[in-house]
Structure 1
Amino acid sequence: MPRWFYQLASPRWCYDITGKLLPLFAWAAVLLLLGGTAWALAFAPADYQQGNSFRIIYIHVPSAILAQSCYMLMAIAGAVGLIWKMKVADMVAKCCAPIGASIAVLALATGAIWGKPTWGAWWVWDARLTSMLILLFLYFGVMALNSAIENQTTAAQSTAVLSLVGLVNIPIIKYSVEWWNTLHQPATFTLTEKPAMPVEMWMPLLIMVIGFYCFFAVAMMLRLRNEIVSRERRSGWVRELIQTQFR
């Protein structure tokens, strides 16, 4: 195993490294999201079929992708906590759930807003929409388990198992439009195929996707740092940190 993997087991090391990375990701998120939004709204051409209503794609697609990525990170962190008993991995898994749930809500809400002018309905029991709704419920389930179980170790183990079981939903979300006859359109762009949209339309979308990931990194590190301080509050380094901040 590489050295950094074992360093992740140290709450203090994680707290220090996230403190150094936070400003970088925060600035990147601000610049990318502002630049991508300006490009998407002011310079990207309107869709020849949907007109300007398609512009919600610049929020809907990044949030849908990020909601799935966040769940996978939560499951992986839970597995690491189960196998290697790493406290920081358990903290990461716990911090992922509320962020992922919020992003999933955003994806579902923007999808409904986009669906009204496109399909004529706010909601249909489409395979893609239904599997995304299940993803949201899985996030809620993880959050409920964390709140219901007082013992942190038991809560981490239980939520890790639930997260790993729920991973089966991720390929269903991704391939639902190929496996079933659905209203939802296929993937807007993939890493293995040339985008169907012109560069003037997919480039700001790519910028928004990266911006969303940077925003997630900021939110994740902020929650993780708070969780570390809360759990390690009896440690000497946390006491020194608090004393230094209040001098």
Structure 2
Amino acid sequence: MWKTIKRWYHQLGSPRYFYRFCEAVLPWLVPVSLALLAVGLIWGLVYAPVERYQGDSYRIIYIHVPASSGALMGYIAMGVAGLVALVWRMKMAEVMLKALAPFGAALAAVSLLTGALWGKPTWGTYWQWDARMTSMLILLFLYLGIMALQNAIRDPRQAARAAALLAVVGVINVVIVKYSVEWLNTLHQGATLKVVGESSIDASMKWPLLISMAGLWLLYAANVLIRARTEVLSRERRSGWVRRLVRDEEA
């Protein structure tokens, strides 16, 4: 098992192998992610039963929860990539760090917007400066800060190191977002969908939510691979394998 992981680690650290990996995975990853997302959203927004207390307003969870979880997972992935980039100076980790940020920032923005729309009929206000909402806003700013660093510094290696440091430090905020409803007094409700333990959400509402989450996570992965593939071609444009690739496509 460890040997397999180690082999994959070294292979995916090669820009040429990573490009081939993207070419093999993307043709099925994109349609599968879109199909799952469509099924989950249609099931949840149209066919899931009405919630006893919140009525139809609760249906926004089928957008809000996948976006929130995707934004959190994306930042954790950036933290891991940042750590690898800082410790081992792996170029592909720098590429992944850059590829992860834009879609993660978009998901954080969607999470905040849908949370505000959900909060008005539920709590009577669009916004409250409580721990969960404020820490989620900070997460968006961290995403934007990393993107700004990557674009402001001309040297890509220096830009990657600065962004990697911010990504690693910012993981602390992900922990705050996750556990803020347990540690502090907040308007935001506790988790109803749990990986470990019994979920309090009914199965007729849970399954479309899980499918929506899976579809969005895979769509995030597809977006990252597309962006990373483009970045690899840009960085390796002078290498022999990229020149041969261009010649083959032009032939």
TM-score (norm 2): 0.96
Among 192, 195, 208, which residue is 1:204 paired with? Answer: 208
Over residues 133-169 of structure 1, what are the superposed CA-to-partner deviations in whole Å (9 max), with x where a residue is unaligned?
0000111111111111111111111111111111110
State how far apart, in whole Å, the 2-side matches of 1:42 and 1:94 are: 36
Among 120, 124, 128, which residue is 2:124 paired with? Answer: 120
* Percentage of identical aligned residues: 48
State how far apart, in whole Å, the 2-side matches of 1:113 and 1:221 are: 31
Secondary structure of the corresponding residue to residue 168 of structure 1: helix
Query: Which residue identity does 1:3 align to in structure 2?
Result: R
In structure 2, the residue matched to 1:29 is: 33
Among 9, 27, 31, which residue is 1:5 paired with? Answer: 9
Question: Which segments of structure 1 move beyond 6 Å, counting only runs of 4 or more?
Answer: none
Compute the displacement of 1:122 (Å).
Answer: 1.2
State how far apart, in whole Å, the 2-side matches of 1:43 and 1:56 are: 13
In structure 1, the residue matched to 2:181 is: 177
Compute the displacement of 1:31 (Å).
Answer: 1.4
Among 98, 106, 110, which residue is 2:110 paired with? Answer: 106
In structure 1, the residue matched to 2:92 is: 88
Secondary structure of the corresponding residue to residue 49 of structure 1: coil
Over residues 70-119 of structure 1, what are the superposed CA-to-partner deviations in whole Å (9 max), with x where a residue is unaligned?
00101101111112221111000011111110110011111111111111
Compute the displacement of 1:246 (Å).
Answer: 2.4
Secondary structure of the corresponding residue to residue 103 of structure 2: helix
Over residues 208-246 of structure 1, what are the superposed CA-to-partner deviations in whole Å (9 max), with x where a residue is unaligned?
110111100110111001000011111111111122222
- Give 5+ residue unaligned stretches, structure 1: none
Aligned length: 247
TM-score (norm 1): 0.97
Over residues 169-217 of structure 1, what are the superposed CA-to-partner deviations in whole Å (9 max), with x where a residue is unaligned?
0111011001111100111211112110110001100001101111001
Query: Which residue identity does 1:244 align to in structure 2?
Result: D
In structure 1, the residue matched to 2:158 is: 154
Compute the displacement of 1:43 (Å).
Answer: 1.7
CA contact (8 A) 2:45 2:62 kept: no
In structure 1, the residue matched to 2:133 is: 129
State how far apart, in whole Å, the 1-side matches of 2:230 and 2:182 are: 41
Secondary structure of the corresponding residue to residue 50 of structure 2: coil
CA contact (8 A) 2:105 2:144 kept: yes
Secondary structure of the corresponding residue to residue 134 of structure 2: helix
State how far apart, in whole Å, the 2-side matches of 1:5 and 1:141 are: 28
- Give 5+ residue unaligned stretches, structure 2: none
Q: What is the Cα-based RMSD across aligned positions, in Å? A: 1.0
In structure 1, the residue matched to 2:233 is: 229
